[in-house]
């Protein structure tokens, strides 16, 4: 159980990944982005998650450089994730996309590189490229995003290396129990994107009641629920007070009963695209 912002889970290849990080989805290039990454690092975050399609890898890279300097820590102490976009899925094109990403980020290597979406007929070739980069030591860990059980099963028929991570939409309205169990059985760490359901859960009465008991915000209750479910989480924020508040979830624990009540909110409801039915 994570007891501190810098606590890590050990992936199946032995690499340690922080349980908690900052996401930058929909944060545009510019001072706000640079500042949010720098602020997170300064306040103890050790994991940053971006993607090629977010169009903000350069700003994230600047934020990382400034954050490392201010926090006086080394690059090795930070865990950086990016993702290859659908248009670049293919052996050669994925290798090229990786080069572009690390160049924009201004880094020598990535800690984690993910296939962003399971585009049928394309993701296996892309995975071969990730395996190559991994074997060359240019990525510390490789994984996937938005993969359902059937995608993973199909994928693992040919994969030489099992994905270390599956990053999916995950929040109390979409708890993906079957997928979570499948990943656990196969040693794949689940990671949550959109853990706060893009703000749609913040006025939920049941969560408010639990938050009141613990003297915490609804966001903190949800993020704590992620951690107690052993799911890595990367909430997005650009405001310093919120970045600090989001990470202030290590000084309390939800009871088993509260965990069950939150589980009971599940409606298999997505705010993002359906991995079985997307056209981009």
Every domain of the chain and the residues it spans: 8-199+231-237
Cα–Cα distances in angstroms (integers) from residue 72 to residues 44, 175, 196, in the given order:
11, 38, 31
Share of the chain above pLDDT 90, in %: 94
pLDDT of 194 strictly over 80: yes
Hey, what long-range contacts does 198-204 have (CB within 8 A, 24 or more apart)? 198/271, 200/173, 200/271, 201/171, 201/172, 201/173, 201/265, 204/172, 204/265
Return phi, psi of residue 177, to 5°.
-60, -45
pLDDT of 1 strictly over 80: no
Residue 72: pLDDT band (50, 70, 90) is very high
Angle 253-258-262 from CA coordinates, rounded to 5°: 115
pLDDT of 162 strictly over 90: yes
Convert the pLDDT of each residue in 87-126 to its tens digit. 999 999 999 999 999 999 999 999 999 999 999 999 999 9
Please name the fold of domain 8-199+231-237: TIM Barrel (3.20.20)
- Report the pLDDT value the prediction gives residue 28, as an integer from 0 to 100: 80
- Report the pLDDT value the prediction gives residue 201, as an integer from 0 to 100: 95
Residue 146: pLDDT band (50, 70, 90) is very high
Residue 26: pLDDT band (50, 70, 90) is confident
CB atoms within 10 A of CB 135: 12
Compute the radius of gyration of the chain from its Cα atoms: 18
Mean pLDDT of 68-77: 97
pLDDT of 60 strictly over 90: yes
In whole angstroms, what is the distance from residue 122 CA to residue 89 CA?
Answer: 6
Task: Indicate if 54 belongs to the active site.
Answer: yes
Nearest C-alpha neighbor of 206 from the set 250, 172, 164: 172
- Residue 230 CA, chain-centre distance (Å), reads 13
- Report the pLDDT value the prediction gives residue 25, as an integer from 0 to 100: 86
Mean pLDDT of 170-192: 98
Rounded to two decimals, what is the model's pTM? 0.97
Average pLDDT value over all residues in the chain? 96
Convert the pLDDT of each residue in 217-268 to its tens digit. 999 999 999 999 999 999 999 999 999 999 999 999 999 999 999 999 999 9
**Contact assessment for residue 89 and residue 125, using Cβ atoms and an 8 Å cutoff:** yes
Share of the chain above pLDDT 70, in %: 100
Q: Which of 54, 98, 113, 170 is catalytic?
A: 54
């Amino acid at each position: 159980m994570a007891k501190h912002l810098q606590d890590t889970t050990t992936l199946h290849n032995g690499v340690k990944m922080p349980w908690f990080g900052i996401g930058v989805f929909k944060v545009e290039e510019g001072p706000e982005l640079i500042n949010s990454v720098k602020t997170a690092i300064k306040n103890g975050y050790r994991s940053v998650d971006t993607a090629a399609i977010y169009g903000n890898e350069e700003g994230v890279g600047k934020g990382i450089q400034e954050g490392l300097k201010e926090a006086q820590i080394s690059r090795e102490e930070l865990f950086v994730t990016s993702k290859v976009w659908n248009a670049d899925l293919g052996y050669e094109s994925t290798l090229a996309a990786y080069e572009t990403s690390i160049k924009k980020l201004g880094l020598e290597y990535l800690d984690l590189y993910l296939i962003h979406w399971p585009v049928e007929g394309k993701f296996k070739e892309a995975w071969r490229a990730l395996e190559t980069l991994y074997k060359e030591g240019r990525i510390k860990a490789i994984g996937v995003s938005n993969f359902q059980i059937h995608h993973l099963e199909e994928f693992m028929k040919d994969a030489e290396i099992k994905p270390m991570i599956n990053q999916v939409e995950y929040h109390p309205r979409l708890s993906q129990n079957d997928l979570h169990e499948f990943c656990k059985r196969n040693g794949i760490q689940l990671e949550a994107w959109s853990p706060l359901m893009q703000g749609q859960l913040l006025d939920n009465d049941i969560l408010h009641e639990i938050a009141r008991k613990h003297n915490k915000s609804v966001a903190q209750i949800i993020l704590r629920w992620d951690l107690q479910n052993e799911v890595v989480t990367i909430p997005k924020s650009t405001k310093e007070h919120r970045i600090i508040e989001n990470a202030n979830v290590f000084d309390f624990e939800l009871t088993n009963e509260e965990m069950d009540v939150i589980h009971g909110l599940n409606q298999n409801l997505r705010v993002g695209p359906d991995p079985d039915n997307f056209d981009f």
